[in-house]
Chains A and B, each alone.
Chain A
Amino acid sequence: MSYLSLENVVKTFNKTEVVKKLSLEIHKGELVSFLGPSGCGKTTTLNMIAGFLEVDGGKIEVDGKPVHLLPPNKREMGMVFQNYALFPHMTVYENVAYGLKLRKVAKSEIKIRVQEALEMVRLSGYEKRYPKELSGGQQQRVSLARALVIKPKVLLLDEPLSNLDAKLRQEMREEIVDIQKKVGITTIFVTHDQEEALAISDRIAVMYEGRIEQVDTPAAIYNYPKTDFVSQFIGEVNHIQGKVLEAYSDKRCKMHFFGNEQIVAIQSVKDSEVHFFIRPEKVQISLGKSNESKEAFLSKVERKMFLGAKTRYILRANDQHLVADISNTVLNPNQIQEGNNVYTFWNPEDLLPSRMVR
């Protein structure tokens, strides 16, 4: 059963709806990421869950009880902020102990629980330091310990890693997931870094303009995007269009792309133009025509970019650009020069049909 549920939650700022009838069910112990471009309402939604903003419509329930009318100090949610938001006038110990003191927990128990929390984030021995005497990563760990020590019902993280450098981000995100799984706490993780979201989430809620476009596992979001926005926002895509030569009764069509014919599993009508997305790593190339590439068409290599484990080829066919990312173990990039013509093909199942109408 769902533990945290948002039902038709609405937020309006100056007459513009910033969050539009958003609904979401999160299970106990699950880590759900809110992923979306800047300004899509991630923070606003999180602030409504935490109680810093009132909902203008809909309701929020935790464990079956409505919480959207409670003030933030009564909601028992742990929040970790982007800029850490540690109390600058308190030591690490006092910061972590603050929530327990408010709960009138006995001094001796506070001591034990603070020690435990600091151990969990690997900061034992830093009790007497002040926040400004810590690095960004350490500050964020204190902030995590401070949020978790009160054993909140839900953990809310608003871009907790965005102020850290790339390497530390990766370390920290793994640490956060480890802790989250160990504690088993229901968690919402806001980010606009898709790699981060794909790496750590049980499920991702992709948000766009105040709505949730799709909620799914990372693999499903990546491989089976349900809307054009999700297709384009997660990962990279090539945009291609083709004409329906024949529509079959079993929801398949014979399509015409780049002077080439291919049977694709979509439902359409004869002669209509259909748009597709295809990810660069799904576009394949070869120097000669093989069995595999019998439906290939020729395209010209305009640019070649070495990217480490893979090489990116910018191709041109029929006045359209196509990007192909090919693993260097599959195709030795030295075999192909800029200006060469190569056979280009893909597996029809890798085409993501677009709902776009032009």
Chain B
Amino acid sequence: MKKKLPKLLFNSVCLLVYTFLLAPIVVVLLSSLTTTEYIVFPPKGLTLRWYTELVDHPEFMQSFTLSILVAFGTAFIATAIGTLASLAVVRREFRGKTAIVQLVGSPLLIPSVVFGVALLQFYSWIGLAASPLALVLGHIILTVPFVMRLVVASLVGFDRSIEQAAMNLGAGSWKVFFQITLPIIKSGVIAGAIFAFITSFDDLTVALFIVSTDVVTLPVRIYTYMQYQYDPIITSVSSIMILFTVALMLVIERVLGVGKVFSSKN
């Protein structure tokens, strides 16, 4: 009896937290199935009409592709830079290290609106037009600190004699990195890549300042569409975004087998 009460309390808190986290997603998914011309929850009737109607809105598809490309590019480059930077920060001593760490980490502290404005100013100053490249560059700056946080965490306590053992057995530095170091910090690196991907994929604030009429990411597209119309197309597009992200997670989980990516290392 004495032990049951805390357990009950714990379970209820968990349930509450999960409900609040997941409820909006469920609301979006379900209301995309409504037969009404407006968004409503719970949905009235069930139809896939809002998904088929997307065919008449190729601009959503274009934005979707662009967002995915930008997110993949960002994730790839930010993870590479972030991982190498983490190695340097954790393992080397050099002048101005603290300053560089602070500088790289600063996007975590600056409001993204401010960052967006700054980026807009900077791009126009160097003459970089709105383009996927401009988006990727902005998102890299935004996401490298996340990657570094995660990779640095997985590097702390890394026993370097493991690398020495590999060298001793005949591995050159490339082999040591790809066959020993990287697999051991894998969970941190993948977590960083996923963070970078998601941050880029659903970034609205920064992208708003960079997009032009023909370079529009999906979140920006949804946002602008909503300012004029409020029909269930919005929810169907959002649902696709959610399902896509979930599918991606499942694939990563399957291919790389890192169920514990976010829970603990190794």
Residues of A whose CB lies within 8 Å of any CB of B are: 50-52, 71-79, 81-83, 85-89, 98-99, 102-103, 143, 146-147, 150
Given contacts A89-B184, A102-B169, A103-B170, contact A72 B164 (CB under 8 A): yes
B166 CB–A CB distance under 8 Å = yes
Closest to A47 in B: B164
Collect the chain A residues with CB atoms within 8 Å of residue B101's CB.
none
Known: A85-B159, A89-B186. 19 other contacts (CB 8 A): A51-B167, A71-B172, A72-B167, A73-B168, A73-B170, A73-B171, A79-B164, A81-B164, A82-B161, A83-B161, A85-B164, A87-B162, A87-B180, A88-B162, A98-B166, A102-B169, A102-B170, A102-B171, A150-B170
B65 CB–A CB distance under 8 Å = no
> Would you call A50 and B183 a contact (CB within 8 A)?
no
Collect the chain B residues with CB atoms within 8 Å of residue A72's CB.
164, 167-168
Q: Which has the most chain A C-beta neighbours within 10 Å: B164, B166, B169, B184?
A: B169
B165 CB–A CB distance under 8 Å = yes
In whole angstroms, what is the CA distance A36 to B180 when docked? 33
> Would you call B162 and A85 a contact (CB within 8 A)?
yes
In whole angstroms, what is the CA distance A71 to B173 when docked? 10
Partner pick for B161 among A85, A99, A150, CB 8 A cutoff: A85
Mark interface residues in B17-57 (1 if CB within 8 Å of A CB, else 0): 00000000000000000000000000000000000000000
Collect the chain B residues with CB atoms within 8 Å of residue A87's CB.
162, 165-166, 180, 184
Q: Which has the most chain A C-beta neighbours within 10 Å: B161, B170, B186?
A: B170
Closest to B186 in A: A89
Given contacts A88-B184, A89-B184, A102-B175, contact A146 B169 (CB under 8 A): yes
Collect the chain A residues with CB atoms within 8 Å of residue B184's CB.
87-89
- Report A1 CB to chain B, min CB distance, Å: 25
> Would you call A50 and B168 a contact (CB within 8 A)?
yes
> Would you call B266 and A98 a contact (CB within 8 A)?
no
Collect the chain B residues with CB atoms within 8 Å of residue A82's CB.
161
Collect the chain A residues with CB atoms within 8 Å of residue B171's CB.
73, 98, 102
Partner pick for B169 among A51, A81, A150, CB 8 A cutoff: A150
- Report A281 CB to chain B, min CB distance, Å: 39
Closest to A90 in B: B183
In whole angstroms, what is the CA distance A81 to B168 when docked? 11
Collect the chain A residues with CB atoms within 8 Å of residue B172's CB.
71, 73
- Report A15 CB to chain B, min CB distance, Å: 16
Collect the chain B residues with CB atoms within 8 Å of residue A77's CB.
168
Chain B interface main SS type: helix
Collect the chain B residues with CB atoms within 8 Å of residue A50's CB.
164, 168
- Report A6 CB to chain B, min CB distance, Å: 18
In whole angstroms, what is the CA distance A51 to B170 when docked? 12
In whole angstroms, what is the CA distance A71 to B172 when docked? 9
Collect the chain A residues with CB atoms within 8 Å of residue B183's CB.
89
> Would you call B162 and A86 a contact (CB within 8 A)?
yes
Nearest first, the 7 A-B pairs at minimum CB distance are A99-B169, A85-B161, A85-B165, A102-B170, A72-B167, A79-B168, A89-B183
> Would you call B170 and A79 a contact (CB within 8 A)?
no
Collect the chain B residues with CB atoms within 8 Å of residue A83's CB.
159, 161
Closest to A149 in B: B169
- Report A61 CB to chain B, min CB distance, Å: 19
In whole angstroms, what is the CA distance A237 to B108 when docked? 63
- Report B186 CB to chain A, min CB distance, Å: 8
> Would you call A79 and B165 a contact (CB within 8 A)?
yes
Closest to A75 in B: B168
- Report A357 CB to chain B, min CB distance, Å: 43
Collect the chain B residues with CB atoms within 8 Å of residue A78's CB.
168
In whole angstroms, what is the CA distance A52 to B168 when docked? 9
> Would you call A88 and B266 a contact (CB within 8 A)?
yes
Mark interface residues in B170-213 (1 if CB within 8 Å of A CB, else 0): 11100100001001101000000000000000000000000000
Collect the chain A residues with CB atoms within 8 Å of residue B170's CB.
73-74, 76, 99, 102-103, 150
Q: Which has the most chain B C-beta neighbours within 10 Å: A87, A143, A150?
A: A87
- Report B181 CB to chain A, min CB distance, Å: 10
Closest to B266 in A: A88
- Report A42 CB to chain B, min CB distance, Å: 15
In whole angstroms, what is the CA distance A156 to B159 when docked? 19
In whole angstroms, what is the CA distance A98 to B159 when docked? 18
